[in-house]
Structures are given as structure tokens and as C-alpha cells.
Amino acid sequence: MRIAAISDIHGNHEALTEVLADIKQGRIDRIISLGDNVGYGPDPEAVVQCIMEQKIPSVLGNHELAILEPDLLAWFNPHAKKSLYKTEKMLSSASLEYIQHLKKSLVVNGCRFVHGFPPDSPTTYLFQVDRPTMEQTFDITEEPICFTGHTHRPEIIVFQSGRVLRQPFHQGIFQVDPASNYIVNVGSVGQPRDGNDAAKYVIWDTEDLTLELRYVKYPIVMTTQKIIARGFPRPHAERLWGAWKK
């Protein structure tokens, strides 16, 4: 089976469209979204409707969670907060109802999918987790591979012979060792923060035991123009221009 894991679309319909076109060429059996389908970007309704129409299972991201639980907006910076206020107003009742039913994690074909950190946190960042906690998480997690998003930066964390090894995940194919366990950050479709402006997603091939990080170009200028024209914070457009890395 070949599973495409996408994450952090963030209302970027142009990026999602090109990623789905790329997926269509890749003999993919399943697509799973790791959440944050909305926020930052100018087309939250179009993105959610696309996810629904394509019947793509999705977990709950921290941006969806903040729409459901407004008290969490205090956790967001002013630009992200403004973006979420606008996003909620742009979403139809059907899209809001869809968000209400998202689960915090999914297990598909023996793999766990969660936005932030396993087993089911939509808010914890991988870089916040210390080594002892990481080791304990690997010990108690049943699934050998867990896919995450949230940081917008591709990364592979390997638990091998009792040791945790962290490494960036670059474009191309990574061979999985069946004797090891993994947390795989698939990067971001719509708001990359790794210094490269391409939309990114990962293909997991369960037969070949490979992970492939795909880079997909999309019309960034069109998206940035809409961000500004629709009154979203300008820094969200500027991040796309430079694939902001900080």
C-alpha cells in the first residue's frame, strides 16, 4: 500500500490542488491529512470542501482546535489570531460541523497519524519534547511509525536499540528499518518553514518500506495576492515568498 500523508495546508488552495495532482500520478491508495487544513491562508472554505469531497480522512490540528475552543486563541500570536477570526467567518456551517467531528489521532494500516505529538496531542511541537519523554513515548506507542505535522519542517526521528536519533528529512527516499520505530514529520503543504517554498508531503510505501518526501511547486504569487487582498496579515504572504525559516 502507498499512503500519502499531507499536513498543514493552512487554507492554501493552490498548493493543495498541485499536491493532489502530484499524488494522482503516484499510484497512491490512501491520503491522510494531519490537520491544520485552515488558518493563515485565504481559502479555508475551498480547502475544507476539497478535503470533504475527496473523502480524505483528517485529524484535528491546533488551528481547528482553536476554532472549537476559542479560549485557546490566547496561545496564538496576534497575526495567527487575526487569521483565525477571519477564517471562522469564511467557513460554512457544513465546514464548521465537519471540523467539530475531527479526531485527535487516527490509526491507518498500522500507522498512527496525529498533528503534533503521539499519541494524540494537536498542540505539542516535536522540538518541545526532551529525550526522556521521547524515549518513553516510543516505548508505549504500539504503532512502529507515527506521522506528524505542526512544525512545518520535515524531520525523521528514529528509535533504534534504545536510542533516539533525530535528523532532517530532505527531498527524496528514506529506507525504513523494520527493526526501528519512527516519528515522521511530513512538512507543510501550504505554509512551509524549512527554507524551501515548495509544498511538501510524504509517501509511505508499506511494501518497499520507503518514505519519500515530495516537493511540489505551485503558483505562490496567486496565493500571496489573495492573502493580502482578503485582509489576512501580510506576514503570512511574506512567509510564502521566502519559505520562512526561523
User: What domains does the chain contain, in order, with CATH numbers?
Assistant: 2-242 (3.60.21.10)
Q: In angstroms, rounded to a whole number, what is the distance separating the alpha carbons of residues 34 and 104?
A: 9
Dump the DSSP string for 15-53: HHHHHHHHHHTTT-SEEEE-S--SSSSS-HHHHHHHHHH
| 211, 184 Cβ separation under 8 angstroms | yes
State the virtual CA torsion across 15, 109, 129, 161 in degrees, nearest 10: -130
What is the tens place of the pLDDT at every residue in 71-91?
Answer: 999 889 999 999 999 999 999
pTM for this predicted structure: 0.95
- CA-CA distances (angstroms) from residue 208 to 69, 108, 136, 183? 41, 17, 28, 18
Q: What is the DSSP letter of 61?
A: P
Q: Within the chain, which residues score under 50 in pLDDT?
A: 244-246
- Among the listed residues 77, 49, 45, 42, the one whose alpha carbon sits nearest the alpha carbon of residue 62: 77
Q: Which residues pair with 3 in a beta bridge?
A: 30, 204
The C-alpha cell that represents 77 in the structure block: 500570536
Cα(33)–Cα(39) distance, integer angstroms: 15
The single residue listed with the C-alpha cell 508499506 is 206
**pLDDT per residue as tens digits for the range 158-191:** 999 889 999 999 999 999 999 999 999 999 999 9
Q: What is the pLDDT of residue 1?
A: 96
> Which residue in 200, 201, 186, 197 sits closest to 244, CA to CA?
197
Report, in angstroms and rounded to the nearest whole number, the Rg of the chain calculated over CA atoms: 17
Strand partners of residue 108: 111
Distance CA 126, CA 124 (A): 7
pLDDT at residue 55, as a whole number: 98
What was the pLDDT predicted at 161?
87
Helix (H, G, I), strand (E, B) or coil at 151: coil
